[in-house]
Amino acid sequence: MSNLTQIVHAPNGVTYRQPTGLFINNQWVASSSGRKLASINPATEEEITSVYAATAEDADKAVRAARAAFEGEEWWSVVGTARGRLMLKLADMIENQQHVLATIEAMDNGKPYSQALGDIEEVFSVFRYYGGWADKSYGQTIETTRAKFTYTVREPIGVCGQIIPWNYPLGMAAWKLGPALACGNTVIIKAAEQTPLSILYFANILVEAGFPPGVVNIINGRGSEAGSALVQHPEVDKVAFTGSTATGKQIMRMASDTMKDITLETGGKSPLVIFDDAQIPNAIKWAHYGVMGNMGQICTATSRIFVHENIYDTFVKGLQEYTAKIQVIGSPFEAKTYQGPQVSKAQMEKILEYGQVARTEGARIVSGGKIADARPNGKGFYVEPTIVCDVQPHMRVYKEEIFGPFAVLVKFSTEAEVIKQSNATDYGLAAAVCTSDISRAHRVASQLKSGMIWINASNNSDFRVPFGGVKQSGIGRELGQAGLDAYSQLKSVHLNLQLTEQV
């Protein structure tokens, strides 16, 4: 067997061939240094396999392959309708292998298998959605004078570097690949260090679907080496990144040297405002899902929960009871599991540290804040879902993104007060409101400084709707028709109709 492939036996009985190399020009290659990164199963703390880690030299090879494909006849000649057919075929093939892909993500990321299945369903749905857009890129004719004909066309940006996170590995790749390919770009994806396996397996599906060499290239590696090289490469025309705000700022600085087009989807500390006229059972359900779903590892988590003083005690008790009932901790492959492990030991320790910070700063932990007692076989990076009350705006747990199943509850009195508190943050990715007053819902939504607002819900995003934030939560939008704007650019053409000078 090739040293670029390994047979993997998953805990649910699935056996498959896992690529471990760099995917460049539709071929698997080892890294130039030979160095590897271990991929750890966070539920067992055991190594699944190791993958080759790209160097700057490898990133350069991937970029050059993407550039050659972008400028070559084989991809340029694939018009929108044909690109759409390729993407629809790809979507069908992903759906046919949904079971294997979900298995890989559950094992590599730690999320429950049932949730991973839902993630992969979104992946093939996103490719179908953008496959339908591939031949619907329209320009305009613009009347100027009778002496010329003026029009605009939409064109691909070129070579796109895309850096994806570990919380939704293949999902975030689809969000970026879908519109990029629909618009005719070529791509280099840098996989997350913690979760490279599903996107590598996906690469072989791309080849089988018929995508030409160099159109999509996938490299593993550390952000400080492979990621930095990709962002700074002069032949990369655009960079799209999902991850932390701190890293997003570094990418902006690096990309500025060559004035690249950028799309950034970064951090958040999103508020959920629950008024005293809200239907409390519904508010509890969405408050729980908004911060405890996907082990709390979601950028739009509504982790600052503002509750009106009239219902505060009732809500806290209800959320505690609901969490204890719903939040079953266990192996990702157990059907009853709601919460799997955090993605890594470092992430687990970060969440536990915030529990100590909350105690030190005077907040009250009503549940959680420690390693879960229900760890299967006493192993894995499991933490208890944590609910913290009596939180004040000066506290770190109020201000900082924790990225775990960690809810902080704040009491408020008036609408004006809670709007001010909700907006008093550097972030602006999302926000949510629970109320039975539809006028209030719209009024408050209009005043919250966030890119996305949910009313009587939380975190029920949809791939047909634009996704993105304001302030330090990012630049640009992904998904929906707006996602196409991030991967295309307008060209204006002025045709002179008066070829001879009038005398």
Active site residues: 265
Exposed (0-12), middle (13-18) or buried (19+): which is 375, by Cβ within 10 Å?
middle
> In sequence order, what DSSP letters do the residues of 414-477 get, joined into one string?
-HHHHHHHHH-SS--SEEEEE-S-HHHHHHHHHHS-SSEEEES-SS---TTS-B--SGGGEES-
From residue 91, give the alpha-carbon distance in Å to each of 125, 126, 174, 271, 483: 7, 8, 10, 35, 18
Tell me if 239 sits within 8 A of 230, measured CB to CB: yes
Task: Name residue, tokens 């536990």.
Answer: 352
List, in order, residues 6 or more apart from 427 with CB less than 8 Å away: 245, 267, 268, 269, 270, 401, 469, 471, 472, 473
Write phi, then psi, for 449 (nearest 5 degrees): -90, 80
Closest Cα partner for 486 from 246, 120, 133? Answer: 133
How far is the C-alpha of 59 from the C-alpha of 254, rounded, in Å? 15
Task: Name residue, tokens 């490719």.
Answer: 127
Q: Which tokens go with 50?
A: 């190791």
Residues of the chain by 3-state class (helix, strand, coil), percent to 5 = 40, 25, 40
Exposed (0-12), middle (13-18) or buried (19+): which is 371, by Cβ within 10 Å?
middle
Query: CA gyration radius for the chain?
Result: 24
Closest Cα partner for 184 from 68, 76, 26? Answer: 76
Task: Name residue, tokens 């529990």.
Answer: 355
